[in-house]
Amino acid sequence: MRAERVLETDRKRKITTAFKEMTKFLKALRVKESVLKQNLLFMRSKRALQHWNQRVELTNMLRRKNDKAILTWKHRVMARVFNGLRSKIKYEKISLSRMNKIVGKLQHLDAAKAF
């Protein structure tokens, strides 16, 4: 009788220790699973942030390129304008000098007729 009780308590003790070990293991698995879920969420958010940064970098690069293209186009237009003004001034100087020569000749011509 006593031996059976001792064997029964020993068996129950083994069962409870095994159950405690199993619950510890399951808790550890649950904790590990929750940590893995958190890590997965973190990695997804990190990846999303990296993609967003890449898109922002690309957008900024395209904006800089566009601004540079606009600036070079403005420089070209201004260079054309200034070149046109220079050539116009040059032609005006030439025409003014020719008109000056003609006016000078006309003055001498009038003076010659007067005598």
- Return the pLDDT at 114: 59
Q: Residue 115 carries which DSSP code?
A: -
Residue range 90-100, pLDDT digits in tens: 888 888 888 88
Place of tokens 């050539």: 87
Mean pLDDT of 68-94: 87
**Is the residue at 111 inside a domain?**
no
Answer whether residue 55 shows pLDDT above 90: yes
Which tokens hold the place of 107? 């003055």
Instruction: Report how many domains make up the chain.
Output: 1
Host domain of residue 85: 1-89
- Provide the whole-model pTM: 0.42
**Is the residue at 37 inside a domain?**
yes
Rounded Cα distance, 66 and 62, in Å: 6
Answer whether residue 84 shows pLDDT above 60: yes
